[in-house]
Structure 1
Amino acid sequence: MSWSIGKAWRRVDGVLLLDKPTGMTSNSALQAARRLFSAAKAGHTGTLDPLASGLLPLCFGEATKFAVDLLAADKTYEAELQFGARTATGDVDGLVVERCPVNFRLADLEAALPRFRGTVRQIPPMYSALKRDGKPLYELARQGLEVDREAREVTIHELTLLDFSADRCRLRVTCSKGTYIRSLAEDLGKALASLAHLTALRRLAAGPLAVSDAVTLEHLAALADEDRRRWLLAPDRLLQSLPPVYLDEDDALRFVHGNPVRSGGLPGKCRVYGGHRLLGLGERDEQGSLRPRRIVASA
């Protein structure tokens, strides 16, 4: 399907919860949505592999200033694993490089899962965007090279078995930033004296945002422009985990000009409003000063 537009780029501010299809890169999905909205500025809050489907929050205009705040949020996935085979990429898109019989039972799988809950150490896969000497690891992997990767601590808050049949299982995973579900699949296979790779992945949630509230590109393309814009959420939807601070007119003016203002409350980041308008992201210090960190440009 073609995601063409018939108008010039324009300022669009907001957050779009996109249900990304499989087989499409996150950047391709972003550019397709950008063209549908004719948005002059756009970005996403962290990539999903082409294999994966599900929630991909996209930011337009001033909302792009807050995209980084969702990168650190916990994510929830539904993952399908196949046992008995290891692939070069850790998922179904890679060539099978090793096979083995599947000899474990359901009880063995259930007994193995607890060791992957909580804080665990995980070696990032070679087919990842992490960089070594300025080069993404996946570029080195495509050249047939493999380099040592340091294990990193990640947190798996939830790991629930949804289904198990012969050599496949489905898992629900809620995890911290930096967790690789492909690595989890391979590590689980090793724990069962087997091999495993990821065959399907769907992101269900990112922080407080859920795929149940998302829309597909096909649906957006079929809508009139006015109806399409109704899918855009306010930029502060990305900041709902932060406490709000409301400033009077004088302090609001100081804040948007980059000056600190006095504000009570606990230290830390907060979303700042002047009246009902989002002014930006602020951070309180121990002395009660509220300092601007990111400021929303007025329309």
Structure 2
Amino acid sequence: VEIAVAYSSLNYKDGMILNGIGGLVKTYPHVPGLDLAGTVVHSQSDQFQPGDQVICTGWRVGEIHWGGYAQKARLKADWLVPLPTDLTLRTAMGLGAAGLTAAISLEALEAHGLTPDKGEVLITGAAGGVGSLSVLLLAALGYQVAASTGRPELEPYLKDLGAQTIIPRQDLAEPSNKPLESARWAACIDSVGGTTLARVLAQMNYGASVASVGLASGAQLTTTVIPFLLRSVNILGIDSVFYPAERRAAAWARLATALPLEKLDLICTEVGLADVPRLGKDILAGKVQGRVIVNPNQ
């Protein structure tokens, strides 16, 4: 399927690819851009016709397949999701892989018993893309949201998204000398990893789950098995790249209907391709707030 790309976005992994980190790209020249939204201009598949508006996230597009930082893309039909009627191409990329990750993280937590009446849900890395959209989604659905960030100046931003409590990053960043701390969290969506994840595990309520979605502070996890043995805590691995195609449309539909889309303007900044290299460095340094929409046509 050939697509005229209207918008892409900037994700943490895009930053890694743009800066040659992690060996994610094997051959050059290469077109990055993990996400894209656009209009079908030619199709060899019965699934889509010219004029259809579609979204693509995952399937290693932008890694081993050329991605969304271009005006045209040619992708497999099975990788595409029809644009939900409540979204525009631009709002779809305001969500992108980060929004899909937030949606499937919540789905996984709910499958393990999370409901709004269970208590506070912690979002780490809350000012980033996945974090911001997780705060917005959970707050819109009636959850009590605690947002952790290392940028105190963003407290008003996070409260505007629906966070009720702000947790300073340093409260979670230092290793604990106890295998268990006071139980506080009904669930957590963690995009930080490392010491923060280890600390959060020790603070989970009995039977609670952590959706692990990122590694902004590191891939190593040093912890004990005590939270698992004494509090039945679960770590749920979340991968949106190969999330089953038959479940993607439902996740996108939930985002389109559950989110207060008018608040996406609080989260999103639109840039052109010329800005992407600079922002690719900024996102790795934790300097990007919310979501960056990339317009390859400007």
The structure where strand makes up a greater share of residues is 1
The TM-score range, normalised by the shorter chain, is: under 0.3
The structure where helix makes up a greater share of residues is 2
TM-score of the superposed pair, with normalisation by structure 2: 0.27
TM-score of the superposed pair, with normalisation by structure 1: 0.27
Rg comparison, structure with higher value: 1
